[in-house]
Amino acid sequence: MPDLPSAARVVIIGGGISGCSVAYHLAELGWTDIVLLERKQLTSGTTWHAAGLVGQLQSTQNRTRLAKYSADLYMRLEAETGLATGFRQCGSMTVALSTERREEILRLAGMARAFGVEVHELTPSEVGAMHPHLNLDGVVAGVHLPKDGQADPGNVALALAKGARMRGARIVENVKVSTVTTAGGRVTGVDWQSGEESGHIAAEHVVNCGGMWGRDLAARNGVTVPLHACEHFYIVTETIPELQRLPVLRVPEECAYFKEDAGKILLGAFEPVAKPWGMDGIREDFCFDQLPEDFDHFEPILEKAIHRMPMLAEAGIHTFFNGPESFTPDDRYYLGEAPELRGYWVAAGYNSIGIASSGGAGMALARWMTDGAPPFDLWEVDVRRAQPFQKNRRYLRERVSETLGLLYADHFPYRQMASSRGIRRSPLHEHLKARGAVFGEVAGWERANWFADAGQPAEYRYTWGRANWFDNQRAEHMALREGVGLLDMTSFGKIRVEGRDALAVLQTLCANDMDVAAGRIVYTQMLNARGGIESDLTVTRLSETAFLLVVPGATLQRDLNWLRRHLGDAAAVVTDVSSGEAVLPLMGPKARDLMALVSPDDFSNGAFPFGTAREIEIGMGLARAHRVSYVGELGWELYVPTEQAAHVFETLVEAGTEVGLRLCGLHAMDSCRIERAFRHFGHDITDEDHVLEAGLGFAVRTGKGDFIGRDAILKVRETGLSRRLMQFRLTDPEALLYHGEPILRDGKVVGHVTSGNYGHALGGAIGLGYVPCSPGETGAEMLASTYAIDIAGRLCPADASLAPLYDPRSERVKL
Ligand SMILES: NCCCC(=O)O
C-alpha cells in the first residue's frame, strides 16, 4: 500500500522534469502538503531520453527569461541537493548558412542580450576556431552563448525531486491517477490506483504535468490541453578518440544539433515532416520505452551532418534512438490554470525543449499558483490560448508533424503554418479567396491578411526584408487612409453579458464607466489588482440589461474565463455569441459616401456620432453598425447576422466601385493601427503592464466607484510612472521592425519593441515599446533623449513620441 495521505494541498500528476520542477518550486515557496504521483517511475516517460540541452536563446523575451532561469538553477542544483546533475556550462553555438538565417540569429541575439543573456556574434573563422571539427562550407555567421549548458536530464529531474523532498514534498512512484474529481466547477482531489490498491486524496489544486498523456488526462475533465507525441530521433556515436570538449552546436538549416558528451557525439534531428506517435493511445505499461528505429527517416539528416562534421563518417554508431516527445500546435508549451476548471493547473507540452524550459516554467507556475497571478506576462504560453477544437486528434496529428520541424525552421516574420488549416472560416471566405485573399491563421480562424493583385501569386514568400506583399499592404493602407477599405474581422470574439446585474458586473471589471445610454460604445480594459491589463475590449450597451463585449479572437477563452470567474452570484449570464455575426469594418474618409449608397439611414455626425451603435438597413438586410475604428479613420464596423454576411458583402462591393472601394487585409489593419499607436493586446499591453504606463489613462474613470485595479491606479497616480509606452519611427525608411528589437535611450538598452510594422503614411517602420522613466520625469524630458533601435546589431536612429505620430488629436475618426 503506497504511503499516501487522504488530503493534500496540491497533487502533481507526472514525475517527469516538469512535475519535479513544479514540486521543487512550490516547496521552495513554502507550500506544505505537496504530493507528486508518478504512474511508473520518475522520468520514465520522456525526460529520461531527452538530449539534455539547456539553451537560453528562445524566440521571445519571456521564454528566454525562463530558459535563463533554468540554466542558472541547474548550475546550483547539485550543490544544493548533493545529487549529480551532469550540468556542464559548455556553451552553445548556432550557425547560419544563409543571410536570412544570419539576420534571424543576430536579431535573437540582440533580444537575448537585452535580457542579460551573454551572447557573442561570431564570424565563420571564429566559428571554426571554436569548433575545429566543423566543415565551414556555407557558414556565414554564428552566435555563441557561453553560459548555455548541457545536463543529464534524468538526474536534473531527480535532483529537483530531491530538493522538493528535502522541503517536505511527498513524491510517490507506481501510483496512477485514475480520475481528477470535481464539484461545482472546482477540483476536489484525485482518485488513485496502485496495483490492486486504490484511494482518494482530497486536494485544492491538481497540476497536470502528464507530458504526452497530458491531453487525454485533461480531456477526461473537459479541459483543453492540445498536444500530441511525435517520434524524436537521435544517434550517439561510439567514443571518438580525438574528440575534445565542445560547445553544443546547432545547425538549424540542416535540422541538426550536436552534443559532445564523454568523447561521443549525440546528433539529433528536427526533420521537416515528423512522425506523430501514439495516435491510438499509449500502452498502459509504457515505462522507459523506446520506439522502433527508422533509418530511412533519419538518413537525410545524417548525410548532411556527416558533411558538416566529417569525423562522423568514421565514428561507429553506438545507439540509434527514437523516443516520443510532446508537441503543441504552435510550438509553445502550456502553463497556467485551465479555464474550464478551477484548481486545475497545467505544465506540459514542451516541444523537445523541456529540459531548458522546465526549470523556469516550474518556477513561474509555482509563483502563479501562490500569488494567483503569473510573475510576469506569460500569455504566449498561457493554457487559455488553446481553442477547444484543438483537442481534435486528427488536427493535432497533422499539425505536430509540422511543428516538430519548425523548431529549427526559419522563424520568418508572418510565417504561417502549412498544416491543419481551414478549420474556422468566415462566411465570406470563398468570396475573399476569389478576390485574391492570402490567408493567415489565428486561433484556428482563417483571416485575409492581404490581397494579391490580378496575376500576382496569392502566396507568402518569407523574408526578413521587404515582403512580397509590401506594396499590396501599402495600397490597402493608403485606401484606408485616403479612400475606403473593407475588412473582414469575423474572427472577433463576441460575448454577451446580460441580466439584472450585468451593469454592476461590468462596472466592477472594467476601468471605464459602463453606465452609459443604450447604443453607446465604450473602449475599456479589464484590469487585475496590480492595474495590469487582463483584457482590451469595446463594450456596447445594447439595452438596460444587455451588453456586447468585442475582444480579439485569440483572447476569447481568456476573456470568457475572466468574466465567468468574477461573476460570483450576480444575476448575469455570460454567453459566447461569436459565431452569430460576421464583422465587416468599412473604414476610410469615403466610408460615409459608400454607406449612403447602400443604406437609407443617416450616417452624419449629428445622427450617428463616434462611439455609438445602432441597427441599420443595408442592401435588403439588416446589420448593427458600430462607429468605432481600429485603423484611426472614419468608419463603421458592421455586425451582420452570419447568414446575411454574403449579401451585405456583395452589396458593398457592388456599390463600392463608385467610390473606389478596396478590400483590405489584416496586415494593413495592423500597419494603420500602429501608426495611430493603438495598442495590441498580448504585445503592447499585457497583464504585466499597468494601464497608466500603457498610456490608457484616458479610458479610466476612478470617479465612478470601485473596480478591480482602481487602488493600483490611485497608487501610481500618487507615486508617478516608472515607465511609459512610447511610439518610434525609424528615420531610415528601408529598415523594418517586427517585434523584440532592443530600444536604446542615449546609447543604453532600456527596453524592446513590443510590436512593429511599417507606417506607410508616416514613411518608415513604426514600433511601440516601454521606456523606463523616473517618477516625476516629464514627457518633454523623455523626448529630449536620443533613441535608436538595434536591428540585428545595426543601430537605427528613431524619432520618439508619447502622442500618436499619426493624427495625434484623434480628429479623423470624427470626420
Ligand atoms: N531536445 C533537443 C533540444 C534541441 C535544442 O535545444 O535545440
SS3 track for 288-344: CCCCCCCHHHHHHHHHHHHHHCHHHHCCCEEEEEEEEEEECCCCCCEEEECCCCECE
Cβ contact 157:20 at 8 Å? yes
Distance CA 586, CA 632 (A): 12
Cβ contact 636:627 at 8 Å? yes
Q: Is 537 helix (H, G, I), strand (E, B) or coil?
A: strand
Average pLDDT over residues 239-245: 91
In ligand 1, the atom with minimum distance to the C-alpha of 352 is 1
pLDDT bucket at 122, cuts 50 / 70 / 90: very high
Residues 235 and 157 in one domain: yes
**How many other CB atoms sit within 10 Å of the CB of residue 44?**
19
Indicate whether 280 pLDDT > 90: no
Task: Report whether residue 52 contacts ligand 1, using a CB cutoff of 6 Å.
Answer: no
Question: Which pLDDT does position 135 carry in this prediction?
Answer: 97
Residues 143 and 217 in one domain: yes
Q: Is 371 left (phi over 0), alpha (psi -120 to 50) or beta?
A: alpha
Please choose from 53, 94, 326 the residue to mutate so as to test ligand 1's pocket, defined by most ligand atoms within 8 A of CB. 53
Query: Which of 757, 775, 633 lies closest to 683 in space, CA to CA?
Result: 757
Indicate whether 676 pLDDT > 90: yes
What is the enclosing helix (H) or strand (E) of 164? helix 153-166
Helical ranges in 771-811 per DSSP H:
779-783
Residue type at position 335: L
Ligand 1 centroid to Cα of residue 314, in Å, is: 25
Q: Is 228 helix (H, G, I), strand (E, B) or coil?
A: strand
Q: Is residue 225 part of a domain?
A: yes
Return phi, psi of residue 476, to 5°: -70, -40
Cβ contact 642:623 at 8 Å? no
Task: Report whether residue 50 contacts ligand 1, using a CB cutoff of 6 Å.
Answer: yes
Residues 744 and 632 in one domain: no
Question: Which pLDDT does position 83 carry in this prediction?
Answer: 97
**How many other CB atoms sit within 10 Å of the CB of residue 628?**
21
Report percent pLDDT > 70 for the chain.
100
Distance CA 588, CA 405 (A): 42
Residues 21 and 110 in one domain: yes
Q: Is 148 helix (H, G, I), strand (E, B) or coil?
A: coil
In ligand 1, the atom with minimum distance to the C-alpha of 356 is 6
Task: Report whether residue 55 contacts ligand 1, using a CB cutoff of 6 Å.
Answer: yes
Question: Which pLDDT does position 208 carry in this prediction?
Answer: 98
pLDDT bucket at 244, cuts 50 / 70 / 90: confident
Indicate whether 722 pLDDT > 90: yes
Task: Report whether residue 491 contacts ligand 1, using a CB cutoff of 6 Å.
Answer: no
Question: Which pLDDT does position 22 carry in this prediction?
Answer: 98
Cβ contact 233:294 at 8 Å? yes
Question: Which pLDDT does position 116 carry in this prediction?
Answer: 87
Residues 150 and 234 in one domain: yes
All cell numbers assigned to 298: 533519419
**How many other CB atoms sit within 10 Å of the CB of residue 791?**
24
Task: Report whether residue 767 contacts ligand 1, using a CB cutoff of 6 Å.
Answer: no
Distance CA 419, CA 434 (A): 21
Distance CA 400, CA 227 (A): 8
Residues 251 and 176 in one domain: yes
Residues 618 and 767 in one domain: no
Work out whether strand 493-498 and strand 573-576 pair parallel, antiparallel, or are unpaired.
antiparallel
CATH number for 639: 3.30.1360.120
pLDDT bucket at 726, cuts 50 / 70 / 90: very high
Distance CA 727, CA 453 (A): 32
Ligand 1 centroid to Cα of residue 248, in Å, is: 10
Distance CA 805, CA 779 (A): 15
Distance CA 204, CA 324 (A): 31
Task: Report whether residue 725 contacts ligand 1, using a CB cutoff of 6 Å.
Answer: no
Ligand 1 centroid to Cα of residue 657, in Å, is: 54
Cβ contact 628:519 at 8 Å? no
Q: What is the mean pLDDT of the chain?
A: 97
CATH number for 772: 2.40.30.110
Ligand 1 centroid to Cα of residue 93, in Å, is: 12
* Atom 1 of ligand 1, residue of closest alpha carbon: 352
Please tell me what DSSP assigns to residue 529: T
Task: Report whether residue 327 contacts ligand 1, using a CB cutoff of 6 Å.
Answer: no
Task: Report whether residue 363 contacts ligand 1, using a CB cutoff of 6 Å.
Answer: no
Distance CA 352, CA 468 (A): 33
Distance CA 517, CA 504 (A): 15
**How many other CB atoms sit within 10 Å of the CB of residue 267?**
26
Task: List Cα–Cα distances, 790 to 107, 141, 747, 770, 799, in angstroms.
Answer: 8, 18, 10, 15, 14
Residues 116 and 11 in one domain: yes
Query: Which of 787, 801, 797 lies closest to 748 in space, CA to CA?
Result: 787
What confidence tens digit (pLDDT) does each residue in 176-235 have? 999 999 999 999 999 999 999 999 999 999 999 999 999 999 999 999 999 999 999 999
Distance CA 22, CA 347 (A): 8
Q: State how many domains the chain has.
A: 3
Residues 115 and 237 in one domain: yes
Indicate whether 242 pLDDT > 90: no
Q: Is residue 400 part of a domain?
A: no
Query: Which of 16, 111, 119, 18 lies closest to 65 in space, CA to CA?
Result: 111
Q: Which domain holds residue 227?
A: 7-335+343-368
Ligand 1 centroid to Cα of residue 352, in Å, is: 6
Distance CA 314, CA 423 (A): 49
* Atom 6 of ligand 1, residue of closest alpha carbon: 53
Cβ contact 306:312 at 8 Å? yes
Residues 722 and 655 in one domain: no
Distance CA 205, CA 11 (A): 6
Task: Report whether residue 354 contacts ligand 1, using a CB cutoff of 6 Å.
Answer: no
Task: Report whether residue 744 contacts ligand 1, using a CB cutoff of 6 Å.
Answer: no
Task: Report whether residue 57 contacts ligand 1, using a CB cutoff of 6 Å.
Answer: no
Distance CA 593, CA 9 (A): 63
Terminal-residue alpha carbon distance, the chain: 76
Work out whether strand 170-172 and strand 34-37 pair parallel, antiparallel, or are unpaired.
parallel
Q: Is residue 290 part of a domain?
A: yes
Burial 565-579, CB ≥16 within 10 A → b, else e: eebeeeebebeeebe
Average pLDDT over residues 264-268: 97
Residues 612 and 749 in one domain: no
Q: Is residue 269 part of a domain?
A: yes
pLDDT bucket at 59, cuts 50 / 70 / 90: confident
Q: Where are the beta strands (DSSP E) in 314-420?
A: 317-327, 334-337, 344-348
Residues 24 and 91 in one domain: yes
Q: Is residue 527 part of a domain?
A: no
Rg of the Cα trace of the chain?
27
Q: Is 203 helix (H, G, I), strand (E, B) or coil?
A: strand
Q: Is residue 431 part of a domain?
A: no
Query: Which of 358, 380, 352, 343 lies closest to 23 in space, CA to CA?
Result: 358
Task: Report whether residue 53 contacts ligand 1, using a CB cutoff of 6 Å.
Answer: yes
Question: Which pLDDT does position 178 carry in this prediction?
Answer: 97
What confidence tens digit (pLDDT) does each residue in 500-549 have? 999 999 999 999 999 999 999 999 999 999 999 999 999 999 999 999 99
Q: Is residue 485 part of a domain?
A: no
Please choose from 322, 352, 358 the residue to mutate so as to test ligand 1's pocket, defined by most ligand atoms within 8 A of CB. 352
Task: Report whether residue 401 contacts ligand 1, using a CB cutoff of 6 Å.
Answer: no
Interface confidence (ipTM) of the complex = 0.96
Task: Report whether residue 257 contacts ligand 1, using a CB cutoff of 6 Å.
Answer: yes
pLDDT bucket at 61, cuts 50 / 70 / 90: confident
Instruction: Please provide the DSSP assignment of 90-130 as one string.
Output: --EEEEESSHHHHHHHHHHHHHHHHTT---EEE-HHHHHHH
Ligand 1 centroid to Cα of residue 328, in Å, is: 15
Q: Is residue 420 part of a domain?
A: no
Question: Which pLDDT does position 141 carry in this prediction?
Answer: 98
